[in-house]
Amino acid sequence: MGKVEEIVLSEGELDWIQMRKDFESLRPETTREKMIRKIKSNPVVPIGCLATAGALGYGLYNFRTGNRKMSQMMMRTRIGAQAFTLVALITGVVLTYKKE
């Protein structure tokens, strides 16, 4: 085997390696990671969204089957669920603002 030479570099020559390591920690957030982060920060909003979608779906189903009374009740429930979601969203924003 050949003789191994030791290469001596000045401190400033390898700055790009440290910069690359720093920027890798700042990689962009994926859609899934962003959704999970937002759900953890304000878990009540997804509950309101699911309630809204459920009331809408069941209301449309009853509308299609001809059950007008239940369809009307579900549409009113949907409005209530939307209001709940809006209040939860505003509350989450205010609480997040106060933390910072």
- pTM, 2 dp: 0.64
Query: Which is higher by pLDDT, 37 or 99?
Result: 37
In this prediction, residues 46-68 reach a mean pLDDT of: 94
Q: Sorting pLDDT into bands at 50, 70 and 90, what band is 92?
A: confident
The domain locations on the chain are 31-99
Question: At CB < 8 A and 24+ separation, what contacts does 52-60 make?
Answer: 52/78, 52/81, 52/82, 52/85, 54/81, 55/81
Q: Sorting pLDDT into bands at 50, 70 and 90, what band is 28?
A: confident
